[in-house]
Structure 1
Amino acid sequence: MAVLTVFLTGCATFSNDGGLDSVSTMTKERTGQAIQFSKPSAEANTTSDTVRQLLQKPLTPDTAVQIALLNNKGLQVSFAELGVAEADLVQAGRLRNPSFSFGRMRGGDDVEIERSVMFDLIGLVTMPIRSGIEKRRFEQAKLQTASQAVQLAADTRRAYFNAVAAQQTALYMEQVQGAADAGAEMSQRLARVGNVSKLDQAREQVFFADATAQVARARHNATAAREQLTRLLGLWGVNASFKLPDRLPDLPKAPNDMANVEQLAMSQRLDVQMAKSDAQATARALGLTKATRFINVLDAGYANTSETGEPRANGYEIELELPIFDWSGARTARAEAMYMQSVNRTADLAIRARSQVREAYSAYRTTYDLARHYQTEVVPLRKKISDEVLLRYNGMLASVFELLTDARDQVSSVNAAIEAQRDFWIAETDLQAAINGTGGSSVQISSSAPAEAGAAEH
Structure 2
Amino acid sequence: MTTRSSFPPLRTIAAVVLALALSGCATFSKDGGLDAVSAMTAERIGQDLRLPQAADTDPAGEELARLAHSPLSADDAVRIALLNNRGLRASLAALGVAEAELVQAGRMRNPSVGFSRLSGGGETEIERSVMFDLVGLLSIPIRRDIEARRFEGAKLAAATSAVRLAADTRKAWFNAVAAAQSASYAEQVREAAQASAELAARMAKVGNLSALDQAREQAFSAEALTQLARARHNATAARERLIRLMGLWGSQTAFQLPARLPELPNAPREPGNIEALAMQQRLDVQLAKRDAQATARALGLSQATGFVNVLDAGYANSSKSGAPRENGYEIELVLPLFDWGGARTAKAESIYMQSVHRAADTAITARSQVREAYSAYRTSYDVARHYRDEIVPLRKKISEETLLRYNGMLMSVFELLADARAQISGVNAAIEAQRDYWFADTDLQAAINGSGGATAGMAGAPATAAETAAEH
TM-score (norm 2): 0.94
Match of residue 227 from structure 1: 240
Secondary structure of the structure 1 residue equivalent to 2:401: helix
The structure showing larger relative contact order (alpha-carbon pairs under 8 Å, at least 6 residues apart) is: 2
Secondary structure of the structure 2 residue equivalent to 1:310: coil
Secondary structure of the structure 2 residue equivalent to 1:311: coil
Out of 270, 283, 289, the residue aligned to residue 283 of structure 2 is 270
Deviation of 1:52 (Å): 3.2
Q: Does 1:448 align with 2:461?
A: yes
1:138-157 map, 5 Å: 138-157=151-170
Deviation of 1:243 (Å): 1.0
Out of 15, 19, 29, the residue aligned to residue 29 of structure 2 is 15
Secondary structure of the structure 2 residue equivalent to 1:303: strand
Contact 2:312 2:332 (8 Å CA) reproduced: yes
Q: Does 1:38 align with 2:48?
A: no
* Aligned mates of 1:87, 1:56 — CA distance in 2: 44
Deviations for 1:154-210, whole angstroms, at most 9, x for unmatched residues?
Answer: 110111111111111001101111111111111112222222222322222111111
Contact 1:55 1:239 (8 Å CA) reproduced: no
Count of aligned pairs between the two proteins: 457
Amino acid at match of 1:201: Q
1:422-437 map, 5 Å: 422-437=435-450
Out of 46, 64, 82, the residue aligned to residue 69 of structure 1 is 82
For structure 1, which segment, 174-183 or 422-431, has the greater mean C-alpha deviation from structure 2 after superposition?
174-183
1:127-276 map, 5 Å: 127-276=140-289
Cα 1:46–1:398 shift into 2, 3 Å: closer
Contact 2:282 2:447 (8 Å CA) reproduced: yes
* Aligned mates of 2:18, 2:440 — CA distance in 1: 56
Out of 335, 338, 342, the residue aligned to residue 322 of structure 1 is 335
Secondary structure of the structure 1 residue equivalent to 2:324: strand
* Aligned mates of 1:100, 1:47 — CA distance in 2: 53
Cα 1:2–1:78 shift into 2, 3 Å: farther
Gaps of 5+ in 1: none
Amino acid at match of 1:217: R
Contact 1:187 1:201 (8 Å CA) reproduced: yes
Q: Does 1:78 align with 2:91?
A: yes
Q: Does 1:311 align with 2:327?
A: no
Secondary structure of the structure 1 residue equivalent to 2:234: helix
Cα 1:449–1:178 shift into 2, 3 Å: closer
Q: Does 1:287 align with 2:304?
A: no
Match of residue 25 from structure 1: 39
Deviation of 1:407 (Å): 1.6
Matched-pair identity in %: 65
Out of 301, 307, 310, the residue aligned to residue 297 of structure 1 is 310
Q: Does 1:361 align with 2:374?
A: yes
For structure 1, which segment, 448-457 or 354-363, has the greater mean C-alpha deviation from structure 2 after superposition?
448-457
For structure 1, which segment, 332-341 or 197-206, has the greater mean C-alpha deviation from structure 2 after superposition?
197-206
Deviation of 1:94 (Å): 0.6
Contact 1:38 1:47 (8 Å CA) reproduced: no
Match of residue 350 from structure 1: 363
Contact 2:64 2:255 (8 Å CA) reproduced: no
* Aligned mates of 2:197, 2:160 — CA distance in 1: 54
Amino acid at match of 1:49: E
Contact 1:183 1:404 (8 Å CA) reproduced: yes
Cα 1:453–1:222 shift into 2, 3 Å: closer
Deviation of 1:5 (Å): 3.8
* Aligned mates of 2:76, 2:130 — CA distance in 1: 60
Match of residue 401 from structure 1: 414
Amino acid at match of 1:405: A
Contact 2:220 2:468 (8 Å CA) reproduced: no
